[in-house]
Amino acid sequence: MSELFEFGKGILESQPFSMLLGTELEVFEPGTAVLVLVVRDEFKQQHGFVHGGVLSYLADNALTYAGGSVLGDSVTSEYKINYLRPAIGEKLVAKASVVSAGKNQAVCQCSVVAIGTDERVVAVAQGTITKVVPKAPL
């Protein structure tokens, strides 16, 4: 495994919420990130679909991973998500990539795919990822 991938795994393992959900890092390369989440009943809303908040979390985290792969330590400064269809399946895969990056900011896009008997894109997102710049001591 690459040094970048190992670093990314360490970041994921330091996120208590991601560990609670069981998120796994599948790909972490310059400009690209793929996060995977096995669907559990606790993630579903009253109609049996994966809750939009779970999809949103997964897209947000994948966007930040993609941006962080080129910027370093980063946070999401904004993002938008479109829910395309109900998320039904056994697994969710969020695939994010950098569209454009500068020194301190990257614009990234993400597709969230539900995998069951088939694969369907259930949401798409776009976000701006901002490099964390350490503050000088006072």
Indicate the number of domains in the chain.
1
pLDDT at res. 1:
66
CATH classification at residue 24: 3.10.129.10
Q: What average pLDDT score do residues 108-132 get?
A: 97
Q: Is residue 110 part of a domain?
A: yes
Domain of residue 31, residue span: 3-131
> What is the pTM (predicted TM-score) of this model?
0.94
Give Dmax over CA atoms of the chain in angstroms.
57
pLDDT value at position 138?
76
Q: In whole angstroms, how far apart are CA 54 and each of 44, 49, 60, 71, 135?
A: 9, 10, 10, 25, 32
Any domain includes 137 = no
pLDDT-derived band of residue 133, with 50, 70 and 90 as boundaries? confident
| Residue 138 falls inside a structural domain | no
Question: What band does 102 get if pLDDT is binned at 50, 70 and 90?
Answer: very high
The answer to whether 137 and 72 are in contact (CB under 8 A) is: no
Is position 38 within any domain? Answer: yes
Portion of the chain with pLDDT greater than 90, in percent: 93
Structural domain contains residue 136:
no
92: pLDDT strictly greater than 80 = yes
Residue 65 inside a domain? The answer is: yes
Checking if the pLDDT of 96 tops 90, the result is yes
Residue 97 lies in a domain: yes
